[in-house]
Structure formats: structure tokens, C-alpha cells
Chain A
């Protein structure tokens, strides 16, 4: 009897040990990637790199940094109204046939591989509409990519609000527009904002949808939305690490470091917003 118990205790300990090992492995991989990028990128990165533009396989990353922010920023500017609007529709019309269909559509959009969107953007926007490689083509493609994430997070945020909030508002004769804009969205601002931050991070980290829509430029954005290619950080990583020049590798590692810092800051920022929101309740 005691032998069986001992064996089970052992098994339990072994189970927890394996679980701890799995956790350590995952955390270890993350730390390795972070250190890898930090060491190589940190050694390459300089202030001058932030302030000058790319020249061939050398120079700086100013054009790529601003390009990344512009593409994702404009993508967000297009994606947020549509995404939040769709999210409100999902939450407030829930149960209706339209909302059920929209919910399905949002799920499907999340699953669309980003290169399929890139191909779509290239053939339709760049070639057929004649926009050329441009900020508009890149940002619109990214907006399509970010949209379902924003919609879903808005939907969940509004759903989690107590029904009493809606009931009391309607009881006071409040219209739907006012209810949503004045009461529900402010109450759900934290999680909605989190969703937007995460969508921004997803956009910044994307490459595949941009290669054939934004292309690449060695110069700062020239203010044109059409017919002017835009550089971005992920392109530098993908393209320059395959060049056989040390200066190109330096740029690739520095770009990786910058994009990781941006994306991690956004991801952690998103978590903090949530924490701040829920801390008093906990």
C-alpha cells in the first residue's frame, strides 16, 4: 500500500517536474531569441543609424523605422473605425442573423494567411487599380489584416460589461448611440485599447503582406500615398540577412532589435492597460 502511494507521489513529482521543464524550455527559447537579437542588434545599433537613411546595404534605418510606423499607423487609422464598429455590432446585435454571420466572417478573416492578403493587395491595388507600390496599398492590406483582431477584442470587451449597465441606460431613455459612445465604450476602454495595441504590434511585425504592396525605399516617405514605395523594418531583416555583406547583416540585426523592442513594448503595454483596469477589482 505504502509502495503504491510512494509510486504515485513519485509520478506526481515527475509530472510537475516535466511541467516545469516545459515552462523553462519555452521561457528559455524566448530569452534566447531576445538575447540573440539584443546582443547582435545592440552591437550594431547606433544613434547615427536611427538618424540616417539606408544607402544600398549600409547606412541607417530612419526610412525603415518611419515607414514601419507609417504603414501600421495608417493601417490602424483605417482598421480601427471599421474594427471597433464591427465589434460594437457583434456585441450589441448579438443573436441576430447578421451578427452571427459577421462573427463567422471575423473568425475566417483571422485565419486568412497574410501572404494571401498580400497577393490580393498586389494584384488588385498595385496592378489593377494602378496604385503602384505605395503607402496606400501597404496600409490598406495591413488594415484588412488587423481588422478582425480589433473587432474581436472590442466584441469581447463589450460583452464582458454587466447587462445592468445597458438596462439602466435604456431605462433612463438613453439612445443606442449614446449608450455605446458615452457608457459602454468608456467602460470597456481598457480592453478595447488593448486590442488596438496588439493589432498595431501585429501590423509592425508583418512582412509577407508588404513585400509586394509597399516594396522598399531607401528614402523617407515623400508624402505621397500612391506611386511611392515605402521602406519598413521587417524587409531589412528578411532581405539584408541574406546579403553577403557585414554592413547588411548589421542593419538586419539592428532592425530586428528595433522591431522587437517596439512589439514587446506594445504587448507589455497592452497587458499593463488590462492590469490597471482590473487591479482595483482584484
Chain B
């Protein structure tokens, strides 16, 4: 926007009309130029990842997605040539455990977040009024402003020992016998359930805020009609007002899922960084694609053939495709619904 002062200054009040013709196209050009930047940036990102990951793709092919075989190979052996490509002996890249860890933690997070978000949105839109509503909604929105790494810190120092002592023992012994996935051993507190709980806290405010705005925009007549039919306050809110916001809720939930899928630092600090195995129960260590890129980038750089760095680009590409697809689905859904209304 460095050109703004110049543009405005170039339009003295008297000559404004005439001048406007001369800089109208210039303004349009400038605008187009600025607007092109995000498009080019995204294009560059996609092209870069595809091109950079390409040499690593034939090594495992589709097995990249369905096997638990992440192995940089023998870093101290001489590289070998396979299909015309230099790589380390024993190198193979299979990230099923990362895909499962990412999807499971994000999905579980959304499952935890959903009831909390719906109830808190009802509270904010239907029950609280005036200052209390403002205060509570401000506080819940601040939850979204807490930096990821602070969630990681809090999770690492407070939440893990807290959950391990007060919740996981109960779950293991009381729920475990009924639901095998809750059975022990419950390990260290680092793992799938802890990651999902931290992620849930991080995404709740996103759903709450969107749903609250949707609820607040519902015409008052709808509520009054509900009440007139003899519904209690909560029944009217739940059955009439909330029902009208089903699509908004769905869209916001998918959006939250997208955020949880790409979350990095907090997960890195509480997930236990599992490698090459799938979680055998809900307490087991996991790793996610985003956290794995941070923790493996330095090791990958030691591969003299550069193949490991390219395999990380493959992970970044898979993560990008998943999050982008999820985000687009949510936005299109919300937009489609918005237009119909």
C-alpha cells in the first residue's frame, strides 16, 4: 500500500474528476497486481511441492500411503543407484502411521469439540444477554488466540500429568473392560487421547463463534413460534433454532477439522512422536504429518542424496492436499448454503 499516499495526494479536490480518469486504470492495475500475489504464491507452493517431491515418488509409489516403513536408510553407507536415482541403501518411505495419527487425532478432537461448541453457542446466543454474553464470548474467543506453542507448554507441563493421574486411570479401569480401545496399557500420558484433547480445546472456539453468529442471525419470530407451540426455552433453541443452523454447524465443524489436521507445535509437544507403528489403544503415542516434518527435517538433511528431504515434500504435499480439500469442502458448503438463503 506504499503507493496510497501518492495516489490520494495526486487528486486535489478541484481537479479530482478529470484526474480520476487518468489514474483509474492505474488503480485497477495496481489492484490486479496485488491480487495476483496470493494466486501466484499458492501456485508456486503447489508446483514446488509436486516438482520437489517427484523424484521420491517412484521409490515407494502408492505404498508411501499404506505402509509403516519410514526409514532414511543407512546414513553412513555409500549411496546406491536404484532406477537411475541415487539413494541410501535401505531407504524407504511409508507414512501410514502418520496419516492414521493425523486423521485419528483430528477426528477425535472434533468429536470432543462438537458437543462443547454446540452447548456453548446455545448458551451465548440463546441464554446469556448483554454484558455476560459479551464477556463469556470474548473469553471463549481468546481461547482461539492462545498460541499453539503455549498450548504445547501447558499440555506438556500441566495437562499430561493431570490427565494421566485423574482421567486415564479411570478410563483404563472403568471404560477399558467395555471398550477394548480404552484398555491399557496406558503408557506415559503422551499420545492420541492427549493430542486430541489439546486439539479439541484449540478448535472449539472456531465452531462456537461461527455457530453463535448463525444462531444470533435466526429471526426472532422462529423462536416465538416455537414457544407459541408450547416448546420450552431449551426445546425451542435445540429443536427449532439449532436445527436451522445444521449446515452452518456442519461447515464450521469441517473447518475445525482442517485446522486440527494441520496443527503442529502443540501436537509435537504432547503426541509422544511414534514412529512406524499404529496406535493400539487410545493412550498410545502417535505422530502427525505436520509434527513429523518439524522433527525429521534435520535428519533428512543428512541424507547426501537429498532423497529424504524430497520424501518430506511428499508428506507436505499429502498434508496440503488433505487440508485444502477439507477446507474447500467446508467453505463451499457454507457458501452454497449462504447463497440459497
| Chain A contact residues, CB within 8 Å of chain B | 8-9, 11-13, 15-16, 18-23, 25-27, 29-33, 36-37, 80-82, 84-86, 88-90, 92-93, 98, 101-102, 104-120, 122-124, 144, 147-148, 151, 173-178, 180-182, 201, 204-208, 211-212, 234, 237-238, 241, 252-253, 256, 259-260, 263-264, 266-268, 271
Contacts and interface: CB of A to CB of B under 8 A. Distances in A.
Contacts of B124: 23
Given A151-B38, A208-B148, 10 more contacts: A15-B235, A20-B127, A81-B2, A113-B261, A114-B264, A116-B45, A119-B293, A147-B37, A175-B23, A205-B147
Contacts of A116: 45, 49, 262, 290, 293, 316, 319-320
A73 B151 CA distance: 23
A153 to B, nearest CB: 14
B2 A178 contact: no
B39 A102 contact: yes
B38 A82 contact: yes
Contacts of A26: 116, 120, 139-140, 143, 201, 204-205, 208
B120 A22 contact: yes
Contact of A86 (B7, B23, B34, B142): B34
B328 interface: yes
Interface string B236-262: 011000000000000000000011011
B149 A237 contact: yes
Interface residues of B, number: 94
Given A12-B234, A33-B146, A105-B42, A27 B140 contact: yes
Contacts of A102: 35, 38-39
B80 interface: no
Nearest to A124: B48
B35 A98 contact: yes
7 contacts: A22-B116, A85-B35, A89-B34, A106-B38, A116-B320, A175-B19, A263-B147
Contacts of A260: 146-147, 150
B234 A148 contact: no
B313 A176 contact: no
Nearest to A107: B331
B323 A238 contact: no
B93 to A, nearest CB: 15
B146 A23 contact: no
Given A106-B38, A113-B290, A174 B20 contact: yes
A65 to B, nearest CB: 14
A234 B264 CA distance: 13
Contacts of B115: 22
A109 B49 CA distance: 15
Interface string B15-28: 01101110110111
B156 interface: yes
B158 interface: yes
Contact of A80 (B1, B39, B136, B312): B1
B150 A37 contact: yes
Contact of B34 (A8, A85, A266): A85
B326 to A, nearest CB: 7
Nearest to B1: A81
A-B interface, 9 closest residue pairs, ranked by CB to CB distance from nearest? A85-B34, A113-B262, A175-B20, A205-B147, A177-B27, A111-B327, A22-B119, A15-B234, A12-B232
